[in-house]
Amino acid sequence: MLSILGPKQTQCDGSRRQFLKIGGLALGGLSLPQILQAETHTASTAKPLGHKAIIMIYLSGGPSHQDMYDLKMDAPLEIRGEFKPIDTNVPGIQICEHLPRLATMMDKFAVIRSLHGCPDQHASDLCMSGWPIGGEGRQSGHPSLGSVLSKVQGPVDKAVPPFVGLSIKSGHDPYSNPGFSGFLGKAHEALQPTGEGMDNMRLQGISLDRLRDRKALLAGFDTFRSSTDAAYDGMDAFSQRAFDVLTSSRLVEAMDLEKEDPAVRDRYGRGDASAAFGEDAGPHWLDQFLMARRLVEAGVRCVTLSFGSWDRHHSNFARLPLQLAKFDQGITALVEDLHARGLQNDVSVIAWGEFGRTPRINKDAGRDHWPQASCALLAGGGMRTGQVIGSTNRLGEVPQDRPLHYQNVFATLYRQLGLDPMTTTVSDPAGRPQYTLDIREPIEELI
């Protein structure tokens, strides 16, 4: 634990020093976000990233491929469901009527309708790493994409972690996994601003009233830092990361959504991080889409988030319109914003879940788990968009044309992020080089 002493103050309980403690990966107690509320911020000017980044959106619980991008209007009623397809701005591509904004921007997206390779597991492991829970534990012991980027490419700015996980703790804990570091170790875990690690870096004994000036506080940190270079170099990885974050306002300013124009915030939509929807997953917190964009602009290489509960065993057609409308708003605002800011070649976006849903509708007007086929929505990253890749059979049961494994998608994402999936390896604890994937062929249609 690193302590940074402040000036002595006389209080009702006697004289003591203010101090700062650093011993974790994130902010907690009285945190920098609270400190920064004391200062008026001006909106930052968007600039080219200078690095490649990815925003990974996990749709917890398994979204229904037949009710989003792969409607089967020629199937029997008990399979095709209640929703109707609508045309998009790409001739020949139709999607669900409850995704009208996406339909007007289909040229900026690509849909994969023929995903396979998912076990029946309610967890984000597959969507964060390409690996399911297996004999070696979570993600079969392998690192997530964000952890690989942290290890191989490192931080863009040492005050900004390369990997940030925005997923909120949920009733079913495997939904809130932002991506495990696997054999790469804790130094390459995601920084979780809402995680338990928040308690490990605190401002102790300091109230906002005692902080006269955040700039003066940071200037004091700079003085401390310049005088303790040797000590800094000897700190462990966790303390170094915490120290870097604490002595720079860049990360926290990126997470301060009040810096954005209200019209931009309204376009993305506003939400409540505590308002869950559905069984045991997270809320439809639309603010996370905007926060993800701000974080990659600040230098984060990988941002992960989870959005909603899609495990629709019942009331599928009553609840999905509400969920799809929120997803439609958030995902289109994000991609529209990336294009407006000239970031469409720098930032990849993917939204998907751990499996699809049963073709046959059950007695509760829901669809059950269906690992045999799934779907994905991609945008940005310099990928070729305005297309649908693959298909399922007439009933939406199994991939028919161009079957693609989840790891094919990861191979494509790694490639667009600057890592050749055919040659890139990371060392395991025994020092042996390990490929990031077993299936390393990218999807040619997207390149």
Interval 149-163: pLDDT, tens = 999 999 998 889 999
Confidence (pLDDT) at 299? 95
Q: How far apart are CA 367 and CA 329, in angstroms?
A: 24
pTM exceeding the 0.85 threshold for the entire prediction: no
Spatial CB neighbours of 416, under 8 Å, sequence gap ≥ 6: 52, 348, 381, 382, 383, 447
Per-residue confidence at 1, pLDDT binned at 50, 70, 90?
very low
- pLDDT of 362 higher than 80: yes
Highest mean pLDDT range out of 108-112, 182-186, 241-245? 108-112
Annotate 402-439 with b (16+ C-beta within 10 A) or e (fewer).
ebbbbbbbbbbbbbbbebebeebebeeeeeeebebbeb
- pLDDT of 78 higher than 80: yes
More confident position, 128 or 21: 128
> Could you give the percent of the chain with pLDDT greater than 70?
75
More confident position, 24 or 325: 325
- The model's pLDDT over 187-201, given as tens digits with 9 standing for 90+, comes to 899 988 764 433 333
- pLDDT of 40 higher than 70: no
Alpha helices in 202-303 (DSSP H): 214-227, 229-233, 237-246, 250-254, 262-268, 287-298
Q: Which of 61-75, 248-262, 291-305 has the lowest mean pLDDT?
A: 248-262
Sign of the alpha-carbon dihedral angle for 114, 115, 119, 120: negative
- pLDDT of 270 higher than 80: yes
> Could you give the percent of the chain with pLDDT greater than 90?
65
C-alpha distances in angstroms, 35 versus 39, 40, 279, 300? Answer: 8, 11, 36, 22
Task: Give, for 4, the enclosing helix (H) or strand (E).
Answer: strand 2-11
Confidence (pLDDT) at 30? 34
Q: What is the mean pLDDT of residues 116-124?
A: 95
Pairing verdict, β 85-87 and 94-96: antiparallel
Q: Which of 141-145, 234-238, 440-444 has the lowest mean pLDDT?
A: 234-238
Which residues does residue 87 pair with via DSSP β-bridges, in sequence order? 94
Q: Using an 8 Å Cβ cutoff, are 298 and 160 in contact?
A: yes
Q: How far apart are CA 284 and CA 326, in angstroms?
A: 7
- The model's pLDDT over 219-266, given as tens digits with 9 standing for 90+, comes to 555 555 555 555 555 556 666 666 666 556 677 788 888 889 999 999
Confidence (pLDDT) at 208? 40
More confident position, 250 or 128: 128
Confidence (pLDDT) at 23? 37
Confidence (pLDDT) at 22? 39
- pLDDT of 14 higher than 50: no
- pLDDT of 359 higher than 90: yes
175: phi then psi, degrees, rounded to nearest 5: -75, -25
Spell out where 226-384 has E strands.
302-306, 347-352, 356-357, 369-370, 374-380
Confidence (pLDDT) at 238? 60
- pLDDT of 41 higher than 90: no
Confidence (pLDDT) at 216? 54
Q: How far apart are CA 150 and CA 155, in angstroms?
A: 7
Per-residue confidence at 16, pLDDT binned at 50, 70, 90?
very low
Confidence (pLDDT) at 195? 45
Confidence (pLDDT) at 253? 82
Q: What is the mean pLDDT of residues 33-52?
A: 52
More confident position, 361 or 195: 361
More confident position, 219 or 173: 173
Confidence (pLDDT) at 183? 96
Confidence (pLDDT) at 412? 98
Q: Which two tokens stand for residue 141?
A: 């012991």
Q: Using an 8 Å Cβ cutoff, are 330 and 99 in contact?
A: no
Q: Using an 8 Å Cβ cutoff, are 169 and 176 in contact?
A: yes
Q: Which of 197-211, 388-402, 405-419 has the lowest mean pLDDT?
A: 197-211
- pLDDT of 102 higher than 70: yes
Other C-beta atoms within 10 Å of 304: how many? 27
Per-residue confidence at 407, pLDDT binned at 50, 70, 90?
very high
